[in-house]
């Protein structure tokens, strides 16, 4: 029995895959750098967010009221509505179930959270 037959390489040329290790390291380092940059960017964006957001229902209600007022002003019906508002305000002063009271949470022209850039 000859021992040289057991030492034969049947797997082809093993030197051609010699670049796989350094390329794998390069890809891992690149992905690590990208992850660090993404985390830093997200932290900057999260720090810029406000502490709390306004109530969604209140914001939607204010937007609907503003839209209705704009529609009324555009159609020229606003004069008649102002008269009915004054007569209603001089009535009993008690709001019925379907009536909206005149209490607001913001100054005219500002947003609910006080940011003058948002309306």
Rounded to whole angstroms, the Cα distance separating 117 from 101 reads 27
> What is the arithmetic mean of pLDDT over 28-53?
95
Rounded to whole angstroms, the Cα distance separating 27 from 34 reads 11
Total number of residues shown for the chain: 119
pLDDT 10s digits, 58-93: 889 999 999 999 999 888 754 555 555 555 555 555
Look up the pTM and report it. Answer: 0.37
Token pair of 114 as six digits: 């006080």
Beta carbons of 110 and 116 less than 8 angstroms apart: yes
- pLDDT at 29 > cutoff 90: yes
Higher pLDDT, 110 or 18: 18
User: What residue segments make up the domains of the chain, in order of their start?
Assistant: 20-49, 56-82
Helix, strand, coil % over all residues of the chain, rounded to 5: 55, 0, 45
pLDDT > 70: percent of the chain: 50
Predicted confidence band at 106 (pLDDT cuts at 50, 70, 90)? low
pLDDT 10s digits, 45-60: 999 998 888 788 888 9
- pLDDT at 95 > cutoff 70: no
């Amino acid at each position: 029995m000859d021992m040289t037959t057991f030492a034969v390489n049947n797997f082809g040329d093993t030197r051609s895959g010699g670049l796989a290790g350094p390329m794998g390291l390069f890809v891992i380092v690149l992905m690590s750098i990208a992850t660090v940059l993404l985390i830093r960017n997200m932290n900057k964006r999260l720090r810029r967010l406000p502490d709390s957001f306004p109530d969604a229902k209140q914001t939607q209600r204010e937007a609907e009221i503003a839209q209705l007022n704009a529609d009324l002003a555009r159609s020229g019906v606003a004069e008649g509505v102002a008269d009915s508002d004054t007569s209603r305000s001089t009535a009993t002063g008690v709001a019925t179930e379907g009536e909206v009271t005149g209490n607001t949470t913001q100054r005219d022209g500002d947003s609910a959270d006080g940011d003058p850039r948002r309306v």
